[in-house]
Amino acid sequence: MDFFNKVGETLTSFGNGVGSKTRNMMDLSALTSQLHQHEDTLRKMYEEVGRKYYAEKKGQPEEAFAGVFSQIEAVEAAAGELRKKIEINKSMVTCPKCKGLTEAGSQFCKHCGNPMKTAEAPVQQNQPVQTQQTGETDQNN
Ligand SMILES: [Zn+2]
């Protein structure tokens, strides 16, 4: 009871006094950012509920969700295709002559036969980048 009375006092005294306009503005931005935090939390929770529901009812959605479920399936399939394409692209190099894609490490472009510089193979992210460790590097290419 005491606690709530004190909160009430603080709230009423807060808006009074000189410079209350500035205070209100600061108050407003604090309130807005609190609101955004809550909205963010809600979004995550709704998403969690949705994910769980989808995982549970996948394959036998209730009638009201059948449309959304098939949309999810379609978008997931499309996203899967894009992921595959991106993975393939990462292991490909662009031919400087015809701009076609050829597997990294190939000696010749599979489209136009242009000799490919193997040095132009993309650097794999999980492999360390080879720099000149010693003074002697083989320059046989
Ligand atoms: Zn080419």
Q: Could you report the per-residue pLDDT of 8-57, keeping only the tens digit for each? A: 555 554 555 556 667 777 789 999 999 999 999 999 999 999 999 999 99
CB 76 within 8 A of CB 108: no
Pairwise CA distance, residues 61 & 67, whole Å: 9
Q: How far is the centre of ligand 1, averaged over its atoms, from the C-alpha of 93 (Å)? A: 10
Distance 105 CA to ligand 1 centre (A): 14
Q: Ligand 1 mean position to 42 CA, how many Å?
A: 52
How far, in Å, is the centroid of ligand 1 from the Cα of 102?
8
What distances in angstroms separate CA 26 from CA 21, 35, 111, one per listed residue? 9, 14, 63
Confidence of residue 121 (pLDDT cuts 50, 70, 90): very low
Rounded distance from Cα 81 to ligand 1 centre (Å):
25
Report the C-alpha gap between 109 and 93 in whole angstroms. Answer: 9
Q: How far is the CA of 80 from the centre of ligand 1 (A)?
A: 28
Model pTM score:
0.46
Tokens coding 62: 């209730």
pLDDT of res. 120? 43
- The pLDDT value recorded for residue 134 is 52
- Displacement of CA 34 from its chain's centroid (Å): 24
Residue 89 has what pLDDT?
A: 84
SS3 84: helix
Q: What is the Å distance from ligand 1's center to 123 Cα? A: 20
* Strand pairing class (92-94; 101-103): antiparallel
What is the distance between the alpha carbons of residues 56 and 65, in angstroms, rounded to a whole number? 13
Residues that place a CB less than 5 A from ion ligand 1: 95, 97-98, 100, 109, 111-112, 114
| 3 state SS for 5-62 | HHHHHHHHHHHCCCCHHHHHHHHHHHHHHHHHHHHHHHHHHHHHHHHHHHHHHCCCCC
What CA–CA distance (Å, rounded) separates 93 from 105?
Answer: 8
